[in-house]
Amino acid sequence: MNDFLIRGALADVDPGVAELIQHEHARQLDKLIMIASESYVPAAVREAEGSVFQNIYAEGYPHADMHGMSEAEILDYESQLAFYRRNGDRRYYKGVEYCNLIEALAQRRGAEVFCPPGMTPEQLFVNVQPLSGAVANAAIYEALVQPGDTVMTLDLLHGGHLSHGSPVNVTGYRQRIVHYRVNEETELLDYEEIYELAQREKPKMIIAGYTSYPWAPDFHKFRAIADSVGAYLLADIAHTAGMAAAGVYPNPVGVAHVTSFTTHKTMMGPRGAVIITTDPELAKRIDRAVFPGLQGGPNVNKIAGMAVMFKLAKTLQFKALQQQIARNAVALSDGLKANGLRVVHGGTNTHMVLLDCKSIAQHDGVPLMGNVASRILDLIGIVCNRNTIPGDKDAGRPSALRFGTPWVTQRGLKEDDMREIADVIARVLKTARPHTIPTKKSVAYTARVDFDALMESVARIGALVAKAGRDFDLPREGYPFVWHAANGQAPGGGDRESAKPITVCGAQAATFLSVVLGTDASALDDGAKVTVLGRNRAPLCAATLTRVDDGYALNVPMDKAPHVAQWLRALSDGYVIFDEADVGIHIPGPVIVRL
């Protein structure tokens, strides 16, 4: 070759990154991901996002005359290229004729998806350039309010978002933020209280739309409250845009002055954001706030992904998916309640459910907290996030978990599966023994659970994973670090007469083994006979201990090896009970356990 183009597949050019991607893909398919702000992006969207549109710089916007064009008009290449050559556009760069078309196409399709009854897509102004939901909201602040103006939002601890005026976010220190909250008794929005607060504070903008409040707001009531004080209404449907597009959630377009949403949650698109308004003057101000106000050139490849995303959002399959997402969330909520757990806000009619961990387990007056509960569930194959709820004092110590149903629904799981998930969550977390660990400034909340309950839960979630649809089948060894009930099983179930080595290595291997053997491992001779201690320090398995290059080898009976390896890994992770009499006993680690 006489050029300087770098060729070759990723696996050839950078095998390290290629392997990381394989591990991540397998992780996503080998666990039940219930992060409410995540979904599995269709391959067609990912293909568009990985296209050569990545290579283009396109500061600015398509020609204003492209607004309102139909899809057929936008894709009339001869007419569009002739128009471009004669009239140009609002870009700072040339070579963007096809960028104009892909952006106009995404805008048109977005207008069609969110066009409310009684309006036409031509009446909607759609900006698809914001790089994230936080940037989109910051741009709306820039466009609609001045520094020092009052903005009214839901308190972060009650379900609001950082970009709704948190003091650590730019939206929180340029404007005067006042928070409305959920009613203390019902944990629901109280529109009379919100109205009274608006009358007292006279905000210039009110935000309706939330990151962890699981009920759909009444946008018409919010608009009436905003109108009563001359405020703008911003509807942030970042989480629920896909549901709104499918008619499963109220569509605020045409009710709110401005609507914003991200495209990578229930929309199942690329990571970006959209702003929609029906006011042409506000549209101009918003466009200027996005560019050049807050960002430079847009990610045109992501806009291409959005165009595909909006096309998929118009399909019957997408609508059926969103309906099932809502049904699954209700089933999950009901399943948790049936197990005696407290669902925050009383339930859901969206895609998310919040669980109060404090109500699940306490030990010596110490409650179970969200952070450690999320770590324990991650070990069994349920991925969720810690979250604040009403009553929490600060975001650093949230006492709840937030679950979302988009991803598991995409993979084909339904109501009965949600109830099974709820049962598993209750089974393992009810065995938790919370305690605290001293830190330099205060204490950290942690907990340990019953090992048998953990392993049972691993098996039950593994069965659901096996049932769920897969994008394509990856070999189990593609991601060897997921807990599977069958990990390390010897062919044919093992042999009592033979031994299988379990390698324990890492900087703390000796001190770790000293705890689980009840003797100083570093002082033992090679081949020493030892006993692996189980829960309550009872004998678990006879073994011999030998030093190896990177640690120690425990030679245990073949039929015991998988169980012992799982036990050692669980102790290393730090979330299983080793001694009921001393739940907080220090287990050195982490270590690497190989079987």
What Cα–Cα distance (Å) separates residue 495 from each residue in 17, 557, 558? 39, 7, 5
Q: What is the pLDDT of residue 168?
A: 79
Q: Which residues face 592 on adjacent strands?
A: 505
Q: Give the residue range(s) of CATH 3.40.640.10 domains in the chain.
A: 122-314
The single residue listed with the structure tokens 């996005």 is 290
Tell whether the model's pLDDT for residue 483 goes beyond 60. no
Stretch 539-564: mean pLDDT: 93
Q: Give the residue range(s) of CATH 3.30.70.1400 domains in the chain.
A: 491-594
Active site residue 150: no
Active site residue 445: no
Stretch 547-551: mean pLDDT: 90
Q: Which of 27, 57, 288, 378 is catalytic?
A: 57
Residues 234, 260: contact at Cβ < 8 Å?
A: yes
pTM for the complete prediction?
0.94
The single residue listed with the structure tokens 């909520």 is 333
Active site residue 57: yes
Q: Which of 153, 171, 259, 262 is catalytic?
A: 262
The CATH code for residues 322-478 is 3.90.1150.10
Q: How confident is the model at residue 194 (pLDDT cuts 50, 70, 90)?
A: very high
More confident residue, 171 or 37: 37
Active site residue 236: yes
Tell whether the model's pLDDT for residue 486 goes beyond 50. no
Residue 147 corresponds to which tokens in the numbers above?
């520094």
pLDDT tens digits for 358-387? 999 888 899 999 999 999 999 999 999 999
pLDDT tens digits for 29-72? 999 999 999 999 999 999 999 999 999 999 999 999 999 999 99
Q: How confident is the model at residue 475 (pLDDT cuts 50, 70, 90)?
A: low
Residues 357, 449: contact at Cβ < 8 Å?
A: no
Q: 5-9, 158-162, 185-189, 523-527 — which is least confidently predicted?
A: 158-162
Report CA torsion sign: 212, 213, 214, 220: negative
Stretch 114-123: mean pLDDT: 97
Stretch 242-264: mean pLDDT: 98
Q: What is the pLDDT of residue 94?
A: 94
Residues 152, 207: contact at Cβ < 8 Å?
A: yes
The sheet with strand 528-533 has its strands ordered as 528-533, 539-548, 551-557, 499-505, 592-594
Tell whether the model's pLDDT for residue 7 goes beyond 80. yes
Q: Give the residue range(s) of CATH 3.90.1150.10 domains in the chain.
A: 322-478
Q: What is the pLDDT of residue 497?
A: 55
Residue 291 corresponds to which tokens in the numbers above?
């560019």
Reduce the DSSP state of residue 545 to 3 states and report it.
strand
Q: 379-393, 402-416, 495-509 — which is least confidently predicted?
A: 495-509
Active site residue 271: yes
pLDDT tens digits for 278-319? 999 999 999 999 999 999 999 999 999 999 999 999 999 999
Q: Which of 59, 190, 378, 423 is catalytic?
A: 59
Q: Which of 103, 112, 155, 236 is catalytic?
A: 236
Q: Which of 31, 265, 411, 500 is catalytic?
A: 265
**Residue 529: which of 496, 564, 504, 555 has the closest Cα?**
555
Task: Please state, for a pLDDT cut of 90, what percent of the chain lies above it.
Answer: 87
Active site residue 265: yes
The CA distance from 370 to 445, in Å, is 9
**Residue 305: which of 293, 313, 316, 297 has the closest Cα?**
313
Q: What is the pLDDT of residue 493?
A: 45
Q: Which of 90, 176, 221, 271 is catalytic?
A: 271
Q: What is the pLDDT of residue 2?
A: 86
Stretch 126-135: mean pLDDT: 96
The single residue listed with the structure tokens 């935000």 is 207
Q: How many CB atoms lie within 10 A of CB 43?
A: 10
pLDDT tens digits for 429-469? 999 999 999 888 888 999 999 999 999 999 999 999 999 98
CATH 3.90.380.10 fits 122-314, yes or no: no
Residues 28, 56: contact at Cβ < 8 Å?
A: no
The CA distance from 419 to 425, in Å, is 10
Burial of 494: CB neighbours in 10 Å, binned 0-12, 13-18, 19+: middle
The CA distance from 144 to 149, in Å, is 10
The CATH code for residues 491-594 is 3.30.70.1400
